[in-house]
Chains A and B, each alone.
Chain A
């Protein structure tokens, strides 16, 4: 198969607009954050904006999401998160009680992640110009291990591991958004991943190639990024991908593939295949990784494609979605 024959028509917005406008070597890899050298220290620096509806959902709210999201992006750079900033865009008339609930959970999340929120900003916009509350956080952290992590570092023979069951955040949000009459005990998986990542990196700093939190677009999108950036194939095994039955149920109702559903407390890591067993051991010894699983392997070809060996023995192309998941069956 010709190189890149998947015809990747994706992340065009990022590539065409932002990369074009801000072109520089630190931005170019499009990893979760940038690695900087400041006074001999290796710093990771990242930012993220949070827009979620509803603002409060089982397992969390926009507040802990905003803290954990940035903490996790730092963790994915191999950094120990240190300090965060927080910017708020509030819609006129947004209840103060709700804002307090949000800031309380931010404080709790920051404490849990061992970071401090050191600066911030607030803007209020007219009614209708924003959906309640938007939060932007930025963060810096220290990279203490001798690691070089990137989506472009995967090599044939590597193993692909996910840190736990997938799709719970997305499923919880969808259930919270509407009442379909489903009684399913699904809570968001939002959690700070710095500690479990630190344990993995400490155990095998040289053998971890890639870390990625599987947020928007889910595991499928993250793994596609790896396949593209590393110019390798990733072959996933459907049977090995951990999904809770309740999540499968919600996805079945909504016609969604859990591989594309967002997580906020799960990450995908690519590790040297020879050390995959050890990596799994380390992850499973941490409460957030108790159900970690090796879900696939990296192969040389077909470069740029993600394939899924289905439970029935077929091989399906798992591509990045351009937009909403629309049916393709004529």
Chain B
């Protein structure tokens, strides 16, 4: 009999055709396999039993990187000559196939890299069908070498032979290459001048590091800046050049053993570190290895030959955690081996700008930041930052979803009737394109107010739309009129617009992340988002499904004196919360002179002191009261540091009153701030006060959820918003909700912060579109 089999999903560039070839050959089937715009097609001729066996093994034994979404079998006459062959790609028709994310170097390739007898020994670009660059080198679909940035490298005879040999691991591996025909590594100076002979740029590059220099390294999705992690002076210099004051740097270590020397790595942590996406994993530092990891270690120290497992203080000042990652390209493996010590690997940019990925742009923008460039001639087509995750309850929780994860689609709980674009928010932004049940979230884009970031956002939408063949007819956007993403949405011609409230999008993102559609009690705690009433929300209890929501409770609004200035200066939130307080606490004294002005501004209200129910600002106020931080240099810093120093053993919690305003619950956040002030005055230690505050917030969340359950019968709670990246708060809240009999949804695939907003917007727009005409 003859059948035609269509396989859809991530089936191109993952070794699927050789797998099919091997399977069919072993089963004695004749016919052919090939790629087309829909995925893979197979034509089979043979016995009924063999064909049935083929179909079973097709799904069961598929290659590791394949993700089969649908297999369609139709019976038809097949022309076969007794053999099974692989046929050339057919680029016609609309592209419906999926691109794989970029994948860390596989064990087979690593073995070749280390084998002096192999022709790819120490070749920094070794890859195969199971590993290597994917999304970042794809220019257009279908995924074929001429449409990637490898197009300019003509295969040598040896590579060509492997490429065409169905039995080879590199059969149709599009980025296939070798020292004879592939990209070459170079070390160049800040002016683009060559610094090392072609013999060993790596050794020279490591010399730059050892001398305390800053090395730019071209990776998969962009350039990094690197220094030796133990080199105090170099780390401090890198901070100065990047204009990054406090935000921690990530560190790359050679292997798990080295990771374990620096951090507590449990099973979940190890699984995340070795995941083939190779994200940055936020792990607790080992307290016994505290030497050199102490807060604010001395600057200007020198490094000898003795670089062990230590990390300079300037790498992650004031943090109990460290972001670690393992090498994910052959170049990183070689570099780490050559350096013999952990290296800082931070995004190649100045603060607030996007990571550089274009060679000329990198040289221009990083020229003043790096002393040398370890670079190569395989272009990067799409920028992708490193992904960041942290282990939570045995699995990974995304902090930033990018390289290695994008563009693997999320499966929507319901079909999108029409193609959708979700424009996202403003900071830490992503966009999302959806078609059918696939939702493709972009790699992390960043802060749109930066023009280069905004440009890559607009270009990224175009690129993704072409790659996934999604021509959006419905465009979902935030309600905030000043977000550049909102303005972008409003400027798009011939689309139907769907405005999605920020916190509804957060809750919907959490639902989509869990494959659910509600209705739930959504707790969205974040910095702030534009509310239906024109005030800034951010400590919200919503009764929500994907299509609709109702605001059922929130933190009591307080003024943000000076708007954005109150975000940069948390002490202003302390002033707003402590209005009328007789006893001037320490925070008032520290900000004497301004305290009265800001209090007056808060009292006056109006546009310069907009009202907010933000949970992030409540954390800020408490952080300022406790003297943790009066001004921040990056988003969420005060709250992060407040969490860092909390005493995890403390179980007490401050009470906060909950009242009802026309049936809507209102939580008196000021009770928590006042309790912190009182404890501080009574001489209670800051770690205990911080813990009691965290516990108090989680207790009042649970209390509100209980009250809402009474009224509605809803028993599932979805936790979202950037504040839930606070692990102490998340842990306490999840535990207490569990004890109270709730089912709790948290984030894993997309971050709880605004990086998840675009997915939530798409989920909402799809659900509304399913209900009928989209309402504005």
List the interface of chain A (C-beta within 8 A of B): 1-2, 4-9, 174, 178-182, 252-256, 302, 305, 307, 312-317, 319, 321-330
Contacts and interface: CB of A to CB of B under 8 A. Distances in A.
A330 B754 contact: yes
Contact of A330 (B351, B425, B491): B425
Nearest to B477: A7
B350 A313 contact: yes
A327 B601 contact: no
Contacts of A9: 481, 486-487, 490-491
A178 to B, nearest CB: 5
Contacts of A325: 482, 563-564, 607
A314 B427 contact: no
Give 8 closest A-B pairs by Cβ, nearest first: A7-B491, A255-B562, A255-B565, A255-B563, A7-B487, A324-B607, A322-B481, A315-B451
Contact of B490 (A7, A253, A307, A316): A7
A253 B660 CA distance: 34
B564 to A, nearest CB: 4
Contacts, number: 146
B597 interface: yes
Interface stretch (B340-348, B528-536, B540-548): B528-536
Given A9-B491, A325-B607, A330-B529, A1 B754 contact: no
Contacts of A330: 425-428, 502, 526-529, 538, 616, 635, 722, 753-754
A225 to B, nearest CB: 16
B338 interface: no
A8 to B, nearest CB: 6
Interface of B: 243, 350-353, 425-428, 448-452, 454-455, 458-459, 480-484, 486-492, 502, 526-530, 536, 538, 560-567, 594, 596-598, 600-601, 604, 607-608, 610, 616, 635, 722, 753-754
Main secondary structure of the interface of A (DSSP, over half): loop
B449 A7 contact: no
Nearest to B489: A7
A287 B560 CA distance: 40
B458 A2 contact: yes
Given A317-B449, A328-B449, A329-B427, 9 more contacts: A2-B458, A7-B484, A7-B492, A9-B487, A307-B451, A316-B451, A324-B610, A326-B563, A329-B528
Contacts of A181: 596-597, 600
Contact of B491 (A6, A174, A307, A326): A6
Contacts of B483: 328
A329 B635 contact: yes
A9 B499 CA distance: 14
B451 A254 contact: no
Given A316-B451, A330-B426, A179 B481 contact: no
Contact of A317 (B448, B480, B490): B448
Given A9-B487, A324-B607, A328-B480, A317 B451 contact: yes
Contacts of B564: 255, 325, 327-329
Given A322-B482, A326-B563, A330-B427, A8 B597 contact: no
Most A-side CB within 10 Å, residue of B449, B450, B635: B449
Main secondary structure of the interface of B (DSSP, over half): mixed
Contacts of A6: 484, 487-488, 491
Contacts of A324: 607, 610
A153 to B, nearest CB: 24
A182 B426 CA distance: 33
Given A326-B536, A328-B427, A302 B565 contact: no
Given A307-B451, A315-B452, A328 B482 contact: yes
Contact of B350 (A5, A253, A314, A317): A314
30 contacts: A1-B458, A5-B488, A6-B484, A6-B487, A7-B484, A9-B490, A252-B562, A252-B565, A254-B563, A255-B563, A255-B608, A302-B451, A312-B243, A314-B352, A314-B353, A314-B450, A315-B450, A316-B451, A317-B451, A321-B482, A322-B482, A325-B482, A325-B564, A325-B607, A327-B566, A328-B426, A328-B483, A329-B567, A330-B426, A330-B502
Nearest to B527: A330
A326 B426 CA distance: 13
Nearest to A309: B451
A243 B753 CA distance: 36
Contacts of B527: 329-330
Given A1-B455, A312-B351, A7 B565 contact: no
Given A255-B562, A255-B608, A317 B454 contact: yes
A4 B449 CA distance: 16
Given A254-B565, A328-B482, A5 B449 contact: no
Contact of B610 (A312, A319, A321, A326): A326
A322 B483 CA distance: 10
Contacts of A319: 482, 484, 487
A8 B482 CA distance: 11
Contacts of A316: 449-451
B634 to A, nearest CB: 11
A256 B608 CA distance: 8
A321 B481 CA distance: 8
A327 B611 CA distance: 11
A8 B490 CA distance: 8
Given A5-B488, A178-B604, A317-B448, A253 B482 contact: no
Most B-side CB within 10 Å, residue of A174, A179, A256: A256
Nearest to B426: A328
Contacts of B596: 181
Contacts of B451: 302, 305, 307, 315-317
B721 to A, nearest CB: 8
Contacts of B594: 253
Given A7-B488, A313-B350, A314-B353, A178 B600 contact: yes
A174 B607 CA distance: 11
Contacts of A328: 426-427, 449, 480, 482-483, 564
Contact of A4 (B243, B491, B610): B491
A72 B425 CA distance: 40
Most B-side CB within 10 Å, residue of A2, A314, A325, A328: A328
Nearest to B491: A7
A255 B562 CA distance: 4
B492 A255 contact: no
A319 B488 CA distance: 12
A125 to B, nearest CB: 25
A113 B3 CA distance: 91
B563 A327 contact: yes
Contacts of A180: 597, 600-601
Nearest to A12: B490
Contacts of B538: 330
Contacts of A256: 563, 608
A196 to B, nearest CB: 32
Contacts of A312: 243, 350-352
A306 to B, nearest CB: 10
B492 A253 contact: no
A312 B368 CA distance: 13
A255 B564 CA distance: 6
A256 B107 CA distance: 55
Given A317-B448, A317-B449, A255 B481 contact: no
Contacts of B480: 326, 328
A326 B480 CA distance: 9
A16 B600 CA distance: 39
A4 B598 CA distance: 39
A320 to B, nearest CB: 9
Contacts of B459: 1
A305 B488 CA distance: 12
Nearest to B754: A330
A327 B526 contact: no
Nearest to A321: B482
Contacts of B449: 316-317, 328
Contacts of A4: 491
Most A-side CB within 10 Å, residue of B353, B481, B530: B481
